[in-house]
Amino acid sequence: MSSSEQPCPLSHAEMIDAWFLENRAKVLDLAAFLDRLDRPTGPSSDDFRVAALRDAISLLIDGTSDRTRRIQMLLSDHSSEPIDTAPMQGALGAVPPADTL
């Protein structure tokens, strides 16, 4: 623990009591989203965002802490040089394959 940390004063059990239901609902929402993607008829797309989401879910359950920062890094562009021109104004939430830009 660094000297700047301000640990949550609640106990482990108090945290679970306070936030279990909220996070149970979030897991069900995530499951429902993946189920929804299974339902459309016709060929499924190989969307890079869904692939990134599945990779992120793997990090959630790998038993190692610092999950949020590690998922942020998984979803981040790791290049370091400015690009020549901006291809659009928005962002997509995961790094698209190079041949799609």
Minimum gap (Å) between residue 43 Cβ and another protein: 26
Binding segment for another protein (CB under 8 A), chosen from 30-38, 39-47, 56-64, 93-101, is: 93-101
Question: Residue 53's CB: how many other CB atoms inside 10 A?
Answer: 19
Does 2 bind another protein (CB under 8 A)? Our answer is yes
Handedness of CA 99, 31, 25, 57 (dihedral sign): negative
- What is the x/- site pattern for another protein, positions 4-43, by CB under 8 A? xxxxxxx-------xx------------------------
Q: How many residues bind another protein (CB under 8 A)?
A: 34
Q: Give the tokens for residue 93.
A: 């939430």
Question: Residue 71's CB: how many other CB atoms inside 10 A?
Answer: 18
Query: Scanning the structure block, which residue is given the tokens 């990134």?
Result: 52
Handedness of CA 83, 84, 90, 96 (dihedral sign): negative
Does 91 bind another protein (CB under 8 A)? Our answer is yes
Task: Using CB under 8 A, list all residues that contact another protein.
Answer: 2, 4-10, 18-19, 68-69, 72-73, 75-80, 82-95
